[in-house]
Amino acid sequence: MEAAVAAEGLSVVCRHPVALTPADVRFLWSEYSADGHVLMHAFLDRYLCTAGSEVLVLRGPDAFEAARRIKRVIRSRYANGPFANLVHTAEHPGELARQANHLLGRCPECADPFVTSEPRTGPARPAGRDFRRDDDLPALVEALWPAVQSADPPAPAPHRLDRSPAAAVYLAADRSQTLDSAVTALWSALPGIPLAHAVMLVLYTGRVGEHPIAVGSHEAISRTHRTLLSHGLTACAVGPFPALTRFPGPGPARP
């Protein structure tokens, strides 16, 4: 980290260890709502609240943009996905003011508040189903955590819709969606899919860029594709798929 900071001509002028709480996470990432982003909050709580973090104050020429470049460098080298990013910096001045004024102000080097004319809160991100009624989310996150943190996670099998896997639905990474909105779309479009499987399909697609999420007959695939589109998940397409003897049969219907 220090080498990347120095390479941008910046210096670390202050650092503070912090122990974030779920309340901190909800304040700092205000674009996620309490009921509409329960999956994101569950993963963020596991990622940010179960170990200590450190806040660094950087100073130097064009420090705001330079810090964003440092983030991209560190993540490109070491991050294993959205919940193993290793470093965060604000993407716009309003976000910086909100986060810095909440976390800093503990010593003379960082006591002055960050001031900006930009709004302190960004627009709300697409929301999804409140999955707390369907599953124990902390337990689900804990079970998935090793795969989420892995540098080379196994590809999750596409969900099998019926016993005639003649076609597939492919999902592409889409930054306009959130984990909750994308998983909600899969939950509705793929009958019987376990929540953990839907989560891993979305996270894996975000990592590799494109992945088959369902296989079945042409009729079933067409129906699935229409449902995804109706949920606003437009980064998806129908395509061919070879015989799939290694994938399990259709899941049980949900009540």
- Mean pLDDT score of the chain, rounded to an integer? 91
Q: Are 1 and 87 in contact (CB under 8 A)?
A: yes
Domain boundary among 53, 80, 110: 110
The single-letter DSSP state of residue 176 is T
User: 131 in a domain, yes or no?
Assistant: no
What is the distance, to the nearest Å, from the Cα of residue 98 to the centroid of all Cα atoms in its chain?
21
- CB within 8 A of 213, min separation 6: which ones? 158, 159, 168, 169, 170, 171, 186, 190, 201, 205, 236
- Does residue 246 carry a pLDDT above 70? no
Both 222 and 161 in a single domain?
yes
DSSP string computed for 77-132:
HH--STT-------SSHHHHHHHHHHH--SSGGG-SPP--SS-SSPPPPP----GG
Both 165 and 81 in a single domain?
no
Among residues 152, 219, 229, the alpha carbon closest in space to that of 188 is found at 229
- Regarding beta strands 167-172 and 159-160, do their DSSP bridges make them parallel or antiparallel, or are they unpaired? unpaired
Q: Domain total for the chain?
A: 2
Confidence at residue 239, expressed as pLDDT on a 0 to 100 scale:
92
- What are phi and psi for residue 15, nearest 5 degrees? -145, 140
Both 166 and 219 in a single domain?
yes
User: 132 in a domain, yes or no?
Assistant: no
Both 61 and 158 in a single domain?
no
- Regarding beta strands 236-240 and 159-160, do their DSSP bridges make them parallel or antiparallel, or are they unpaired? unpaired
Q: What number is the average pLDDT over the span 187-213? A: 96
Domain boundary among 78, 110, 142: 110
* Distances, alpha carbon 193 to alpha carbons 71, 144, 147, 181, in Å: 35, 16, 18, 16
Both 6 and 101 in a single domain?
yes
Kindly report, residue by residue over 34-63, the tens digit of the pLDDT. Answer: 999 999 999 999 999 999 999 999 999 999
- Does residue 163 carry a pLDDT above 60? yes
C-alpha dihedral, 181 to 183 to 185 to 191, nearest 10°: -160
Both 10 and 106 in a single domain?
yes
CATH number at residue 215: 3.30.1390.10
pTM, whole model, 2 decimals?
0.90
- Does residue 85 carry a pLDDT above 90? no
- Does residue 251 carry a pLDDT above 60? no
Domain boundary among 110, 133, 162: 110
Both 68 and 160 in a single domain?
no
User: 250 in a domain, yes or no?
Assistant: no
- Does residue 112 carry a pLDDT above 50? yes
User: 93 in a domain, yes or no?
Assistant: yes
Q: Are 41 and 32 in contact (CB under 8 A)?
A: yes
Both 36 and 99 in a single domain?
yes
User: 133 in a domain, yes or no?
Assistant: no
- At 212, list the tokens: 């088959």
Both 159 and 103 in a single domain?
no
* Residue 165 pLDDT class (50, 70, 90 cuts): confident
Both 99 and 29 in a single domain?
yes
Both 8 and 106 in a single domain?
yes
User: 146 in a domain, yes or no?
Assistant: no
Q: What number is the average pLDDT over the span 97-117? A: 88
Domain enclosing residue 175, as ranges: 154-240
CATH number at residue 14: 3.30.70.141
User: 222 in a domain, yes or no?
Assistant: yes
User: 220 in a domain, yes or no?
Assistant: yes
Both 95 and 184 in a single domain?
no
Q: What number is the average pLDDT over the span 198-213? A: 96
* Residue 255 pLDDT class (50, 70, 90 cuts): very low
3-state secondary structure 19-85: CCCHHHHHHHCCCCCCCCCHHHHHHHHHHHCCCCEEEEEEECCCHHHHHHHHHHHHHHHHCCCCCCC
